[in-house]
Amino acid sequence: MPKPPDRAQHLRLTVVVDNLVNIFLPSQGPLSYPQPGPCSSLLAEQGLSLWIEVDGAQGNATRVLYDFGRGAQVLGRNLRLLQIDPATAAYLVLSHGHIDHYGGLLPLLAERQIAAPLVAHPAAFGTRGIQRPDGSLAGPWRLEQARVEEALAGPPLISAEPRQLGPGLWTSGRIGRVSPLDRPFRAAVRQQGWQWVADDFEDDQAIFVNLEDRGLVVVTGCCHAGVFNTLARAQALFPGVPLYALVGGLHWNFLSDNELQDAIAELAGYDPQWLLAMHCTGALAQHRLRERFAERCPFNTVGLRCSW
C-alpha cells in the first residue's frame, strides 16, 4: 500500500468533458478558466472526462485520461481545443461502465495511436441501463471487453485492486460500502444472463493523488459507490492524510434537500480546501455546496484547469 515518500509534487487537472461550458468565468489562484477565443468552441455534453498530470520529485510527469465522455465528437474536439495530446497518456482509466464515461473511448482509439493500457474493474464490462419512473428502460448500453481489447494497443489492466499509476497517483480499486449516508442509485440496472438486476456498481473506481504538503485529492467519475464510501477508501489507503480536494461527479442529483443538508454537513467534517462538483452532482446539490463552501466550491466548466 502507499507509503511516504510516495507523493506527487504537483497536480494539474483539466476538465475535458463535462455537462456545462462557460467561457465567462474569471481565473484566479490555482484555477484557470477557458477564455473567449478558440475555447468559445468547446462543447459540453452529459458525460465526463478529466486529464490528470502529476509530477514526481524528479520532475517526471505521469499523464492519465480518466473517462472519455459520451461520444466521439465532444472528446476529440475538446482535446484539440485544449491542446491535450492523449497519446502522451501513460494510462487510460475508466471509472465505471456507463456510456457517459466510456462512450468516447472506442472512437478515440480508432482515431489516435494510443499505447496506454486501459485500467478498469472487471465489472465495468457488460450491459447496463437506467429504469425510468414509468418502468421503461433508458439504454441498454453495452461495453464489450473483446471490442475494447481489440482496439487497445496492449492488454487492458483489469483488476479490482488499487493500482499505482505514478508518483502518489493511484486508482482506488473496489470501494467497500461502509457509510449509511451513501444512498444507492436504485434506478440503475445491469443485465445478468437474461435478467435485469439492480446495479451494485462493483466497478466504480476513483483516483487518489497524495499531494506533497497539501493532502489527498480524490477524483470521482459518477461516484456510484458513494462519496463517503470513496472517502473511507481513500483514508484506508492513505491513513492520516487529510482531504485536500474532492473533484468529480457526486451523483447527488436524486437526493432530497434534507438528505443533501446531512451529506453536506458530513462532507464539511473532512474540511476540504477545494470542492469541484461536476457532471451528475445535480443543480440543487451544486447550489447547496456553494452556499456551504463558498469560494472553496468554485464554478465548474469544460476547459477549467486546476494547478495544485
Among 100, 182, 199, 203, binds Fe ion (CB under 5 A): 100
Q: Which of residues 170-229 bind Fe ion (CB under 5 A)?
A: 222
φ and ψ of 243, to 5 deg: -75, 125
Output the smallest distance, CB 221 to Fe ion, in A. 6
Choose one: 59-67, 68-76, 92-100, 138-146; the region binding Fe ion (CB under 5 A): 92-100
Q: How far apart are CB 249 and Fe ion at their closest, in Å?
A: 6
Q: Is 74 in the site for Fe ion (CB under 5 A)?
A: no
> Could you tell me the smallest distance in angstroms from the CB atom of residue 48 to Fe ion?
6
Nearer to Fe ion, 98 or 233 (CB): 98
Residue 225 CA to residue 251 CA, distance in Å, equals 10
**Window 229-268: contact mask with Fe ion (x via CB under 5 A):** ----------------------------------------
Which secondary-structure segment (H or E) carries 268? Answer: helix 257-268
Burial class (CB in 10 A: 0-12, 13-18, 19+), 59: exposed
Nearer residue to Fe ion within complex by CB, 15 or 222: 222
Cα 275 to Cα 51: distance, rounded to the nearest angstrom: 17
Q: Which three cell numbers stand for residue 171?
A: 486508482
Please state the closest distance from residue 169 (CB atom) to Fe ion, in A: 22
Least separation in angstroms between residue 253's CB and Fe ion is 10
Measured from the CB atom, is 31 or 225 closer to Fe ion?
Answer: 225
Strands (E) across the chain are located at 10-17, 31-32, 49-55, 61-66, 91-93, 118-120, 126-131, 137-143, 157-158, 164-166, 169-171, 188-192, 195-198, 207-211, 215-220, 243-249, 274-278, 305-307
- With CB under 5 A, what is the number of residues at the site for Fe ion? 4
Q: Is the dihedral of CA 69, 286, 264, 138 positive or negative?
A: negative
Judged by CB under 5 A, the residue of 98, 121, 214, 233 near Fe ion is 98
Task: Using the minimum distance from each CB to Fe ion, give the nearer residue, 103 or 298.
Answer: 103
Residue 216 has phi, psi (to 5 degrees) of -95, 135
Closer residue to Fe ion in complex, CB, 123/222 = 222
Binding site for Fe ion (CB under 5 A): 98, 100, 222, 280
